[in-house]
Structure formats: structure tokens, C-alpha cells
């Protein structure tokens, strides 16, 4: 069953034994079915036109010329193998149909995608529904031929049990076909260590006869079950016996497990055919096991069996005879050619091309031999000269060059940051985020620059980042970093507020202190004459000075008022007054 093609065995039935028992039906990935004659060793016929997608399962009917197939195109097809044409085609499920099984009497058909359906082959209608599995069903087979309750008349299907297994499911379920439609769940289940890859069983023909089940798992183990099907069982049943194969540990070598690929019961229902080893060259062995032991390990030395015989005399390698005039072109730079050295017959190939005394050529000399200018390879300043920051950034991330990364990431221009992030390839986004996260943990100055890059990456590549399944673990460090910084923001804001109040208060107090003091001494003191007659001469002189000052002040005020009036009159046009009036006014 490896690869796109799946080979299915047909049911062993009577009838046209000579004609039909040698036909092998093979479903292909393109939707056609090949009928291969094992006796003639050639392709007999090809069934086309039934399926539009890959064929998942093919089953022979008891009638020799009838074949059923199912496909990813959701349909089930009934074929007439004699005419190689479609007899009937109907939709089997809403999703792909992965497995089929025909009832013992040939009148019913089990089909399964995830849910399991039992079809009436005459009317092509669903007779029963079953819950099925969470994943695609990979195996379906009937376990009983007759019902356990023999008191009621048997209609060919009611009272029978069948088994189903699915991919990625470690439980094999057993289902019971009832007369009513109420119960749709499995009646019992068998548990195994890994996903079942191959299932074979012995059909129970009598009521008391137990069903023997052989299940090969993906881990290479074989589990053997033996159980009488007699109704509902809640707890999953474990295997009676587990079989493994290993190599003998001769000397220092440790035993290695040998995977079992398939297992089938022989006609006596006791001995088993085991297929193990390599899928390209499997070993088939008939064994009789003592199932009373819970675990059996068979020791087989497969190295001796699988040793390949090679004839040293016959070789398919031919050395061409090259003439000295022939010129052989070497692929690569156009115009380059090299002379092909013809191998000298009878001489052994040198193991070491260099002589002990010679020194190995340097890279520069080799490049010179290829006509490549070495000076063009080396660039001044140690950095690749390129106009695109995006190319520089990708080179820095791939080579983990701190000098290139510093040159690109320390840019302050928003325009350059946005354009660089927009032009960079998708695969460089996650490495860039890791580099930015690493730099954010450094000093705050570099963090303020890295935040601009982070903002651009999240705005430009948000759609790509949202498609990554492991985005949360990829950005886990960044989330923690941001959370730790955001937690301290509230405390820092409070501290900033308090400091601001203190600073403003200190500044206000300093401005109050800087204001010059007001002189509180009076410039003029007036005292009443009657208050104190006995005054000193100095006081009298002061009084006189003050009186004179008052007179002078009054005169100055009158002069200023007159000037104001004259100005107003000039403005109003009343400047032509008589000189007499002016003198009177004065």
C-alpha cells in the first residue's frame, strides 16, 4: 500500500474460478482501475470514466464480473469487468470515500469516509448510519457471518458485527447492525499502541467461536486479540499478545528492532504469516505462536537474508576514448575549456593528488586561473556596495554580521525604514524580529530606534505573520519584554507627576525670591502746624522747601495742561486765536 497505487485483494469465491481468480484489480491515483492477469503476467484491461480523482479502495463482489470502487471525488462506482463499463455510480458521502466492504451475502455494501454507511445494493439507498471516526477510515471488515441470537429469523444483515479502523486513531471499533435505527455508536473497541496499518481477522461462524484479530501498527509491533462478540463492552480491550522481531545482539552490537509490515491468519486459524524487514525486499515467514504469553520477541538475523550479491566482473561503467584533437567544453563560464586527461590503463588512481613537498594553491591564485579579477571581489570598507538597504539587511541577517546590521538598523529616517521593510523578502521577517528583540534588551537609546522597525514590520507584514502557526512562541520574548516595560510605565508616570509638581514649586519659590524689595521709607511727610509749635529750625527749613516744591509742581502742571489744550485746538483747527485772548487765558 506504499505510494499512490493501492492493491486490493479480491474475495475468494466459487464460480468461474479458472477465469477470474487470477485477476488483480489496482486502483490508480488518476482515477482509472487496472485489471492485471497474474497468470499471463500482463495487463488485461483498463476501467476508465468512472472517477475524476484518485481511487482509494476496490472490492470484488461475490459475482465474479462485478467490482466496486470508491474515490476522493465522493462517489462509489459499480463496474462490469467484462464490458469494462460503469454499471452504476452514486454519491457516497459529502467528503472523500476511503474504504468499502461487501456483506457476506453480497446484498449490502459498507462505505466509509469518516462516517460509516450501510447501503442496499439493489436500491442504492442508505440502510443504516453509524457514527464512524474523527479521521478517515482505513479498514472495514465483517467479523461474523451469522447473528449471535438465532431465535429470530435472519435477513442476511441484522445481528452481524463489523470492525473499522482509521488513520491516526489507536482504537479499532466494533459495530453491531440492529433491526432499529436508534443506536449508532460502537459496541466495543480494541486499543493498540500506534496507528493500525494492517488488519486481518478470522471470521466467527458459530456463536461461541471467538474472533481472532491481528493488528500491525505503524511502530512495527503486532497485536493479537481473541474475543467472543456478545454485546456491549464499555472498556476498550487490550491485546492478549504482542509480537516483536529483533536482530540478535552478537558481540558488541546491540539488538535492533525489525518492523513487522503485515500479518495474516492461515486457513487453520492458528498459524500466522508474518511479513517483516524492508518494504523493497520483505521476508515472509509462517509461524505458530503460543498466545498464552503476553509478549513474544522473535530473533531474526535479517542481515544474512538481505545480503545483496554483486558480480564484480560485470561493470556498466564505460570510459570514453577521447582523441587528442577533440576540445571539451566545461559547463559554466562561456569560452572556458579544459583538456580531458585520458585515464592511463593499468595504472592505479592516485589517492593524494598533491605531492608532499608542494604547497596548496591559495583561493586568490585559483580565482586568477579562472580569469576573475580579485580586486573586484574585495570591496573597500569591508561592506558590500549596494544601493538597496533591503539587500544589505538580508545579507546581515544571513551572515549575522553586526557591522552591516548596525549600519542598516541605526538609520533614523522613517521613509527608509518603511521602504526597507516593504522590499525585504518574506523569509527574512522572523530573523529580523529576533534581531530586533535582542537589540531591544540593550540600552534605551537603541531601543527607541528598534521600535520604529518593529512598528513597520508589524504594519507591513501583519498578514504574513498571522498565517504562521507558531507565531506566539516566536514572539514570546518580545511579548515578555513589552509587558515588563508597560508594567513600569504606571509607576514612572506617577513619579514623573510628583517630580513635575516639586520642580514647579521650587521654580515658583525662586521667582518670588528674585523680586527686588520695595523701599518702605516715606518720600513725603506732612504735619499740621497746630500739632507741634516747638519745632526745630531744620524742620522749618524742610517745611519751606516742601512748600516751594509744591508751588513748583503746581506751575508745572498748569503749563502741561495749557500745552495739551493748544495741541487739541491745533488738531481741531482752532489755532487762529487772538493774542489778547491768549494772554487773558494765561
pLDDT of residue 409: 86
Q: Is the pTM of this model over 0.85?
A: no
| pLDDT tens for the chain, residues 1 to 586 | 333 344 444 433 333 444 567 889 999 999 999 999 999 889 999 999 889 999 999 999 987 689 999 999 999 999 998 899 999 999 999 999 999 999 998 889 999 998 999 999 999 999 999 998 999 999 999 998 888 777 777 888 888 899 999 999 999 999 999 888 777 889 999 999 999 999 999 988 887 888 999 999 999 999 999 988 888 888 999 999 999 999 887 776 788 899 999 999 998 888 999 999 888 889 999 999 888 889 999 998 887 665 555 555 555 666 666 666 776 665 554 545 455 455 444 444 444 455 555 566 777 777 666 655 544 444 444 444 344 788 888 888 888 888 888 888 888 888 888 888 888 888 888 888 888 888 888 777 778 888 888 899 989 988 888 888 888 887 888 888 888 888 888 888 999 999 999 999 999 988 887 776 667 788 888 888 765 555 555 555 555 555 556 565 566 666 666 666 655 555 555 545 454 554 555 5
Answer whether 260's CB lies under 8 Å from 274's CB.
yes
pLDDT of residue 386: 40
Q: Strands, E, within 72-124: which ranges?
A: 75-80, 85-91, 99-102, 108-112, 116-120
pLDDT of residue 510: 85
Q: CA-to-CA distance for 360 and 440, rounded, in angstroms?
A: 46
pLDDT of residue 12: 37
Please tell me whether residue 36 adopts helix, strand or coil conformation. strand
Nearest to 118 by CA among 64, 162, 59, 174: 162
pLDDT of residue 497: 93
Q: Identify the structural domains of the chain with CATH numbers, from first to last.
A: 98-299 (2.130.10.10)
Q: CA-to-CA distance for 88 and 280, rounded, in angstroms?
A: 37
Q: Name the phi and psi angles at 262, rounded to 5.
A: -160, 160
Q: Count of CB atoms within 10 A of residue 199's CB?
A: 22
pLDDT of residue 315: 58
pLDDT of residue 385: 39
pLDDT of residue 504: 92
Answer whether 232's CB lies under 8 Å from 187's CB.
yes
Amino acid at each position: 500500500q506504499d505510494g499512490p497505487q493501492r492493491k486490493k485483494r479480491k474475495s475468494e469465491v466459487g464460480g468461474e474460478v479458472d477465469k477470474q481468480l487470477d485477476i488483480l484489480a489496482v486502483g490508480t491515483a488518476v482515477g482509472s482501475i487496472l485489471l492485471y492477469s497474474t497468470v499471463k503476467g500482463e495487463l488485461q484491461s483498463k476501467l476508465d470514466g468512472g472517477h475524476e480523482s484518485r481511487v482509494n479502495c476496490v472490492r470484488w463482489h461475490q459475482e465474479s464480473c462485478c467490482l466496486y470502487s470508491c474515490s476522493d471525488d465522493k462517489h462509489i462506482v459499480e463496474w462490469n469487468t467484462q464490458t469494462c463499463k460503469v454499471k452504476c455510480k452514486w454519491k457516497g458521502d459529502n467528503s472523500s470515500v476511503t474504504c468499502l466492504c461487501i456483506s457476506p451475502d453480497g446484498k449490502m455494501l459498507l462505505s466509509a469516509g469518516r462516517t460509516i454507511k450501510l447501503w442496499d445494493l439493489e436500491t442504492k439507498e442508505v440502510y443504516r448510519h453509524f457514527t464512524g471516526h474523527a479521521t478517515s477510515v482505513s479498514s472495514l471488515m465483517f467479523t461474523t457471518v451469522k447473528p449471535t441470537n438465532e431465535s429470530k429469523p435472519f435477513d442476511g444483515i441484522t445481528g452481524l458485527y463489523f470492525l473499522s479502523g482509521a488513520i491516526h486513531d489507536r482504537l479499532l471499533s466494533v459495530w453491531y447492525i440492529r433491526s432499529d435505527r436508534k443506536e449508532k455508536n460502537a459496541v466495543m473497541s480494541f486499543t493498540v499502541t500506534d496507528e493500525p496499518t494492517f488488519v486481518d481477522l478470522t471470521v466467527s461462524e458459530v456463536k461461541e467461536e471467538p474472533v481472532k484479530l491481528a493488528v500491525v501498527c505503524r511502530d512495527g509491533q503486532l497485536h493479537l486479540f481473541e474475543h467472543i462478540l456478545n454485546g456491549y463492552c464499555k472498556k476498550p480491550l487490550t491485546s492478549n499478545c504482542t509480537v516483536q522481531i529483533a536482530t540478535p545482539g552478537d558481540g558488541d552490537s546491540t539488538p535492533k528492532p525489525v518492523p513487522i509490515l503485515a500479518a495474516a491468519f492461515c486457513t487453520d486459524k492458528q498459524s500466522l504469516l508474518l511479513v517483516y524487514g524492508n518494504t523493497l525486499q520483505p521476508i515472509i515467514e509462517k509461524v505458530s505462536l503460543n498466545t498464552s504469553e503476553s509478549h513474544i520477541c522473535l530473533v531474526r538475523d535479517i542481515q544474512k537474508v538481505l545480503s545483496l550479491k554483486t558480480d564484480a566482473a560485470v561493470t556498466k561503467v564505460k570510459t570514453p576514448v577521447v582523441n587528442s584533437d577533440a576540445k571539451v567544453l566545461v559547463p559554466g563560464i562561456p569560452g572556458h575549456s579544459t583538456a580531458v586527461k585520458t585515464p592511463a590503463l593499468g595504472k592505479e588512481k592516485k589517492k593524494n593528488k598533491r605531492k608532499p613537498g608542494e604547497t596548496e594553491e591559495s583561493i586568490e591564485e585559483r580565482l586568477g586561473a579562472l580569469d576573475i579579477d580579485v580586486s573586484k571581489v574585495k570591496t573597500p570598507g569591508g561592506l558590500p556596495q549596494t544601493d538597496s538597504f533591503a539587500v544589505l539587511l538580508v545579507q546581515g541577517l544571513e551572515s549575522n554580521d553586526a557591522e552591516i546590521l548596525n549600519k542598516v538598523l541605526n538609520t533614523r529616517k522613517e521613509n527608509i525604514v518603511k521602504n526597507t521593510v516593504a522590499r525585504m523578502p518574506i523569509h527574512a521577517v522572523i530573523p529580523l524580529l529576533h534581531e530586533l528583540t535582542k537589540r531591544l534588551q540593550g540600552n534605551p537609546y537603541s531601543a527607541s530606534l528598534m521600535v520604529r522597525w518593529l512598528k513597520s514590520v508589524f504594519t507591513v507584514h501583519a498578514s504574513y505573520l498571522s498565517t504562521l502557526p507558531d507565531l506566539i512562541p516566536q514572539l514570546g520574548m518580545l511579548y515578555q519584554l513589552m509587558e515588563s516595560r508597560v508594567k513600569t510605565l504606571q509607576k514612572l508616570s506617577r513619579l514623573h507627576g510628583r517630580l513635575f509638581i516639586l520642580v514647579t514649586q521650587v521654580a515658583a519659590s525662586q521667582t518670588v525670591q528674585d523680586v527686588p524689595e520695595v523701599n518702605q521709607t516715606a518720600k513725603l511727610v506732612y504735619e499740621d502746624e497746630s500739632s507741634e509749635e516747638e519745632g526745630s529750625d531744620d524742620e522749618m527749613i524742610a517745611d519751606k522747601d516742601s512748600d516751594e516744591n509744591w508751588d513748583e509742581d503746581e506751575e508745572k502742571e498748569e503749563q502741561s495742561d495749557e500745552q495739551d489744550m493748544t495741541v487739541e485746538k491745533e488738531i481741531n483747527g482752532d489755532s487762529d486765536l487772538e493774542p489778547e485772548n491768549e494772554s487773558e487765558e494765561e
